[in-house]
Structure 1
Amino acid sequence: MANNEEQIEAKPEGVAVFIKGKSSENARLVISEAELEAQKPSSAVDDAAQLKVERDHDRGAPSPDAPCEIAVFDFDGTCISGNSPVLLVRYLLKKGQVRTSVLLRILTWGIAYKLHLPQNEAWVRSLVFSSFDGMPEEEADAEMYAFYDEWIVPRIRPKALQVMREHIAAGRDIWIVSATFDPIIVRAKRDIPYDHHVATDMKLDEHGCYTREVKGKPVEGAEKLRQIKEHADQIYGKDSWKLAYAYGDHYSDAPLLAASEHPAAVTPGPTLQHHAEKEGWQVLDWR
Structure 2
Amino acid sequence: MPLKGADCTTDETQAAPATRVRLAVFDFDGTSICGNSPVMLVWYLRRRHLLRKSVVLRILVWAAAYKLRLPQNESSVRSLVFTAFEGKPAAEVDRFLAGFYDECVAPRFRPQADAAMRAHTQAGEVVLVISATFEPIILQAMQHHPFKHQISTRMRIAPDGTYTREVEGLPVEGEQKLDAVKHFGDEHYGPGNWELAAAYGDHHSDRAVLAAARRAFAVNPDRPLMRTARKRNWDVVAW
TM-score by length of 2: 0.91
Match of 2:163 in 1: 210
Query: Separation in 1 of the partners of 2:66 and 2:112?
Result: 25
In the alignment, does 2:93 pair up with 1:140?
yes
Query: Separation in 1 of the partners of 2:218 and 2:68?
Result: 18
The amino acid across from 2:24 in the alignment is: A
Q: Which has the higher contact order (CA 8 A, sep 6+)?
A: 2
- Percent identical: 50
In the alignment, does 2:207 pair up with 1:244?
no
Q: Give the RMSD, CA atoms, in angstroms.
A: 1.0
The amino acid across from 2:141 in the alignment is: A
Match of 1:173 in 2: 126
Give the length in aligned residue pairs.
223
Shift of 1:195: 2.3
Shift of 1:165: 1.7
Shift of 1:111: 1.8
Match of 2:147 in 1: 194
Match of 1:45 in 2: none
Query: Separation in 2 of the partners of 1:278 and 1:118?
Result: 25
Query: Separation in 2 of the partners of 1:268 and 1:194?
Result: 23
Which runs of 5 or more structure 2 residues have no equivalent in the other structure? 1-16
The amino acid across from 1:268 in the alignment is: P
Q: Secondary structure at the match of 1:97?
A: coil
Query: Separation in 2 of the partners of 1:240 and 1:159?
Result: 29
Shift of 1:146: 0.8
Q: Secondary structure at the match of 2:236?
A: strand
Q: Secondary structure at the match of 1:152?
A: helix
In the alignment, does 2:72 pair up with 1:112?
no
Note the alpha carbon deviations across 1:29-76, whole angstroms, 9 max, x for none. xxxxxxxxxxxxxxxxxxxxxxxxxxxxxxxxxxx7200111000000
1:234 to 163, 183, 187: 187
TM-score by length of 1: 0.76
Match of 2:222 in 1: 269
Match of 2:4 in 1: none
Match of 2:53 in 1: 100
- 1:3-22 to structure 2, matched below 5 A, reads none
Shift of 1:196: 0.9
Which runs of 5 or more structure 1 residues have no equivalent in the other structure? 1-63
In the alignment, does 2:136 pair up with 1:183?
yes
